[in-house]
Structure 1
Amino acid sequence: MPAFSKSSSNCDFILDDTLDTKVPVYSDEIFLRGIYFCAKFIGSTDVPRPQNRLEIVTAMRRIRYEYKAKGASKKKVVIRVAAEGVSVYQRTSPSVSE
């Protein structure tokens, strides 16, 4: 039995994604229509051309820090990931009529 632990691993997936061998969850055909995710939106920023994952992680941490500093409420949104891009829509609750 191999003795692996998280602390002894030499691979950092934030900096090096060459050893990331995860199997894709969704097929390519599904991305043509789009995949929808429900989320809570705290902010956005533009990362012009990230060279590695560290730049992306830094941008996400900056957004989270600014959100916590403002103390604003989270907006409920739907995120659509498709071949033409990523779209964010505000979630609306269905009105109940009696």
Structure 2
Amino acid sequence: MPNEYGGYQYWFENEDLSVDLYVEEPEPDDGFFGQVPAMLMARSRSETENWEMAEKLYERLVRLGRYRVVAFADNGMPIDANFDIGDDW
């Protein structure tokens, strides 16, 4: 479904988890956000901790070798990436 920013939002939820995916058109001049025009937010609704689920998703996406992936802490600080994000984030 289109969102107010010109991108799209998708979501899925069941009794175990809730997932939101936000996708925008890439903007190459926008640092690593231009290289990673999608944001995936997953929240556990089961006994699995959010960080455990996020770690598994990150590892699986990186293993595919097709995506540039950045993981952020709750405070917005990047904590891992499979490419050089530089210092100007």
Report if TM-score (shorter chain) is over 0.5: no
User: 1 or 2, which has the higher strand percentage?
Assistant: 2
- Higher relative contact order, chain-length normalized (CA < 8 Å, sep 6+): 1
**Which structure is larger by alpha-carbon Rg, 1 or 2?**
1
Q: State the TM-score, normalizing by the size of structure 2.
A: 0.27
Q: State the TM-score, normalizing by the size of structure 1.
A: 0.26
